[in-house]
Amino acid sequence: MPAGNLAAPNPEATSTTRPQPASSTPAGKRKNNKTPYALIAGVVVGGLISLCILVLIVLRRRYATAKDSESKSTNSCHSSLPSDRCRRFSLTDLKDATDEFNANCVIGNGGFGKVYKGYMDNATTTVAIKRLNPSSSQGFHEFRTEIAMLSKLRYVHLVSLIGYCEDDGEMILVYDYMAHGTLREHLYKTNNPPLSWETRLHICIGAAKGLHYLHTSGKRRIIHRDVKSTNILLDEKWVAKVSDFGLSKLGSKEDSQTHVSTMVKGSIGYIDPEYCKTKHLSDKSDVYSFGVVLFEVLCARPVILQQLTHDQVSLASWGKSCYRKGILHEIIDPKLSGDIARGCLEKFGEVANSCLHEEGVERPSMEDVVWGLEVALKLQEVADEPISDKQELPLMHGEARIMD
């Protein structure tokens, strides 16, 4: 080795240092083979986390949008109402009117919620305030329908909507106060004195006129869909007013024989059986329900009584059966015994029975129902007159006279 050369020969391999076998793949390349798997795993995990975050963001935005849409929908209901026909009250207004919704102010309780008697405009106006119960099966749709229908209707035999409140998620409706409550409160399960037969006839005629107005007054028929004795209210002069339009539907424009297809809704004992079978709703469905009310007025009993014999459970079926057998006088309210003229009873029974035909096409229109009840009232008035003052009842629509 030349002098000054710092290089030294490689040391000899010892027994503890073995030469490694040659590899066909360099070490650097082996390390690079593991890198793509780690990278893929990292990308997948990161992607899943990002996806979860994105889903949460989308769901939160959709929820916020839905709440905003519901709020706008409710507000749009108000914006479309005539300001001179329907007032929007604050929740504070209605709390003041009912002494903070005091239980002592409750005058009724239905499917929508409790009804309170309230005093507004410095106690100069008495109102009925219906507040939605959060656990009720009814809700925003019925609330909106009631406002949409009643804000556009003004008729002596329809209850008047004064206004509504939707503050803080509340749904409250404000109506004219009806001093004598519901028709049912004067028929059975009550301490109220019984109504005279003539008063009952006037109430039936008024309610029939209210339904006739709904079926004929506008470009499209309004089908009430929940006609029953608790939805017929009585003011201080015993004038009947149809109420509760939460289930109402718009029908056809002209032809009364056409229908709308819809889910069956209404009250057990009053629902048109044809409507139940076909899901086809028409104004004749209201006629059927009103026929049940007529028998309810005559007999003063609930429309369904499970404890009775099979043929008497349903008032509609029992009333029709008794009428056809000619024994209608046997099922009238005992408190009316001797008060109903024979001819009046027969005409009243004829009208009620005709409303309950199984097929809607066979039922009368509400106009015909009004006319038939007015004939029954005239027959009663004539029968009540002293013999010397009686006059002949003019024939109408080809009907034969039935007189005592």
CA distance 160 to 182: 15
Residue 203 near residue 385 (C-beta atoms within 8 A): no
Structure tokens given for 141:
């749709």
**Active-site residue among 167, 168, 176, 226?**
226
The DSSP line for 226-238 is ---GGGEEE-TT-
- Which residue stretches of 98-239 are H helix? 140-150, 197-216
Cα(64)–Cα(49) distance, rounded to whole angstroms? 23
- Judged by DSSP in three states, 114 sits in strand
Question: For residue 75, what are the contacts with CB-CB under 8 A and spacing of at least 6?
Answer: none
Contact 288, 258 (CB under 8 A): no
**Size (the chain), residues:** 404
Active site residue 226: yes
* 351's tokens: 């009208």
- Backbone phi, psi, residue 280, to 5°: -100, 115
Contact 277, 285 (CB under 8 A): no
On the 0-12 / 13-18 / 19+ scale of CB atoms within 10 A, 383 is middle
In contact, 247 and 265? CB cutoff 8 Å: yes
**Which pair of tokens denotes residue 313?**
């459970």
Report whether 197 contacts 146 (CB < 8 A).
no
Query: Strand, helix or coil at 304?
Result: strand
Tokens 């009430």 identify what position? 224
Residues labelled as active-site residues = 226
